[in-house]
Structure 1
Amino acid sequence: MIRGTKHRLTIVVALMVAVGAGLGLATPASAAPAPGPNVVTISGDGLAEPLSIRADADAELFDAVHEQVSWLRGNGQTGSPAPGDLGPKYTVVVLTNDVAKQTFDLYPMAKGGPRAYRPAKQPDKSRVTAAWFYGRLSMTETLQAAGVPLPNQATSVNGGIGGGERVIREDSLTPGKDLGRMLGELRGLLLLNGAVVVAITICLAGISLLVRRRTR
């Protein structure tokens, strides 16, 4: 009987090890988010070759340019402007790990304010419709900061989609974003490891019950 009990205990312990291995005792690395955009390129009138802004080289400038196009979703805000009212065109391509994902056309000098266009044909083959948007009033100064040769305009300081904002926003600094991501990963780690502890506790309770029955 004792030998049979030991055999069952061995099986239960093996199951506990399997549970722990399956749940993986997760580390923060296992909860790492998918890679996001880290490069934008700008090509267009007055540029002999495309400008390239990398997040790892100039995070603030990258964020400023990326935010000019990152919100361009949905069905658009305006109809197609007359071609003669658009002015110079600048194409912004968003890349993730040097792979093109999205493309947008910006018209900072358009009559009545900046305009942005999202083509239906996207590099990542995503299914979107062509759409026109009112651009941010800070579009001109943002493109200037990136190296696009545009005439100076009054600096805008008010935020909002289709409105102005500072070229480098205060909330674009990365420490707060990194802290939020770290806390999210830590929360996921604690939840998963908590599940491991519960599973092990249940297994130990099963062992205790089995031993008690066999020793009566």
Structure 2
Amino acid sequence: GFLDADQAMLHDDSLKDELAGTTAVVIIIKDNVLYCGNVGDSRAVASVNGSVNVLSLDHKPSNEIEIKRIQAAGGWVEYNRVNGNLALSRALGDFVFKKNEKKKAEEQIVTAFPDVEVRKITYDWEFVIMACDGIWDVMTNEEVVEFVRMRLGTGMDPEDICEDLMTRCLAPDCQMGGLGCDNMTVVLICFLHGKPYEELVSKCNATGNGDSPFAKY
């Protein structure tokens, strides 16, 4: 699990003093049941018959539950950052925030303990988008789902849709306070339910996105 992987890195002499860290959002699908685990602020969102179904919770230092754990472990939140530094409250790595020997791994200032959401997949599930905050800081859940559905409705290849989405979020320069200048990772999972890809294309196209503001991007 997440904590086991984190502890393995912590006890690796080449990694234990590493200052960097990473978010993680993971999806496992078995017997039409979706399990989504995450630490940090990467996010997974599903389109269910065109509606947004949020599969993960962003772990931000501004969250009251996160603040309580951070303070109990000896940390603080300043400018919505852990100890005035880290902009997320759960992560793999970032071991400088995991030095309290009196606290369990899940009780540290920054923890790798995940939130896990479980969903039953039905035939109205169309796709899931998994992405880091380089996407979600620029577009809302609803905007991303609409953006993807519109392109699925044209028959565009999923890989090209991911590339299109990143291009849409990429700033022409870094004059906007860093917005659109972050690193970006996107994964698109399409649910075919045993049918050809063209069936999903027809479904997304049938709902009509012709007036979407994202049609021009």
- Bin for the TM-score computed over the shorter chain: under 0.3
Question: TM (normalized to structure 2)?
Answer: 0.22
**Which structure: greater strand fraction?**
2
Larger helix proportion, structure 1 or 2?
A: 1
TM-score normalised per structure 1? 0.22
